[in-house]
Amino acid sequence: MKARIYITSVFVDDQAKALAFYTDKLGFVPKTDFPVGEHRWLTVVGADAPDGVELLLEPDENPAAQAYKQALAEQGIPAASFAVDDVAEAYRELQADGVTFVQTPTPMGPVVGAVLDDTCGNLIQLVSPA
């Protein structure tokens, strides 16, 4: 057996706000969106990979999810890491578009990384080859 990643998730405090951020700012595209009780099963994918790994924008209403998110953010640990072609360029574009960064582009061995605030309670790392 060989497992592969199908869906991964980030806990968000507002699914509509998260969808806007992840699509309008980070360039993901909506994949799946249907009601599940009072929330939605809401996923996005990379614009160049419509059948690729899905990112579930999962409500953080569970107290365990809230505590997890808060602990990660307080310790400066990204909840997810996404690849871009050029972190420095992405940093300039996103910062000009009003995105808040908590770490500027920084060499990290074989990659350059930067960390942004997704406005939904998460820190997100962007990386590109060094």
* Per-residue pLDDT reduced to its tens digit, 75-99: 999 999 999 999 999 999 999 999 9
State mean pLDDT over 93-106. 98
Overall fold of domain 7-129: 2,3-Dihydroxybiphenyl 1,2-Dioxygenase; domain 1 (3.10.180)
* Per-residue pLDDT reduced to its tens digit, 23-74: 999 999 999 999 999 999 999 999 999 999 999 999 999 999 999 999 999 9
pTM of the model: 0.95
SS (H, E, C) the chain: CCCCCCEEEEEECCHHHHHHHHHHHCCCEEEEEEEECCEEEEEEECCCCCCCCEEEEEECCCHHHHHHHHHHHHCCCCCEEEECCCHHHHHHHHHHCCCCEEEEEEEECCEEEEEEECCCCCEEEEEEEC
Q: How confident is the model at residue 127 (pLDDT cuts 50, 70, 90)?
A: very high
